[in-house]
Every structure is written in structure tokens, then in C-alpha cells.
Amino acid sequence: SQQGEEDPQALSIQEGENATMNCSYKTSINNLQWYRQNSGRGLVHLILIRSNEREKHSGRLRVTLDTSKKSSSLLITASRAADTASYFCATASNDYKLSFGAGTTVTVRA
């Protein structure tokens, strides 16, 4: 079973627009991470936010974390065609694994 659930499952936007996706999880966490995957290839780490942080930025990415609601959001600003990919949230707790959601597929139209 998967710890996180992303919403929406799929998202189609115009180049230049912002893309927002959400992640909900069930148990307490040490941190939450976002990864990108292009066409069934390997996952690439985007950003990590610790449980005591509320917001984090990295380039065009902005991540928020609300531990009281057990939810996180990833915002990609000024999207580009190269941002077309699947995005996964993953939670890290006091064990040896990351627990991934099912992902949000983002399509950026030129």
C-alpha cells in the first residue's frame, strides 16, 4: 500500500502557466520529498522539506508542508515543455524506506 496520495492524477497546462499538485499522507514523518520521473525512467530528486519546515523554494519550485493536515503541495512556476513528467511525493519516517504516492502526470503544452 502507498503512504501518499497525489492529487490530481493528471494535469495539462499551457507553457508559462503554473502547475500545482498536492500530496496527502497518513503517518507521522521525518521529511517529505518530491521526485520527477520522465517516461518511465529513473526518478530525480527535486526537493526535501523537513517536518519542522513549512515552506521551501528551489528555483521555480515551491513546496509547502502542513503536518497538522498531513499534506504537502508542489508548485512549479512558469512551466516549460521540459517539465512534462510524472511527479511523486515520498515520505520518510523512522524506518529504512521512502513511501511513494501514485504520482501526478503533468503535461505542458507548447
Partner 1 sequence: DAGVTQSPTHLIKTRGQHVTLRCSPISGHKSVSWYQQVLGQGPQFIFQYYEKEERGRGNFPDRFSARQFPNYSSELNVNALLLGDSALYLCASSLLSAGGLNTGELFFGEGSRLTVL
Among 41, 59, 82, 110, binds partner 1 (CB under 8 A): 41
**Min separation Cβ 31 and partner 1, Å:** 6
E-strand stretches of 1-110: 5-7, 10-14, 19-24, 31-37, 43-50, 55-58, 61-66, 71-76, 85-92, 98-100, 104-109
Q: Is 77 in the site for partner 1 (CB under 8 A)?
A: no
- Choosing from 10, 44, 78, 81, the residue that interacts with partner 1 (CB under 8 A) is 44
Cβ proximity to partner 1: between 40 and 59 the closer is 40
Q: How far is the CB of 39 from partner 1 (least distance, A)?
A: 11
The runs of H, that is alpha helices, within the chain are: none
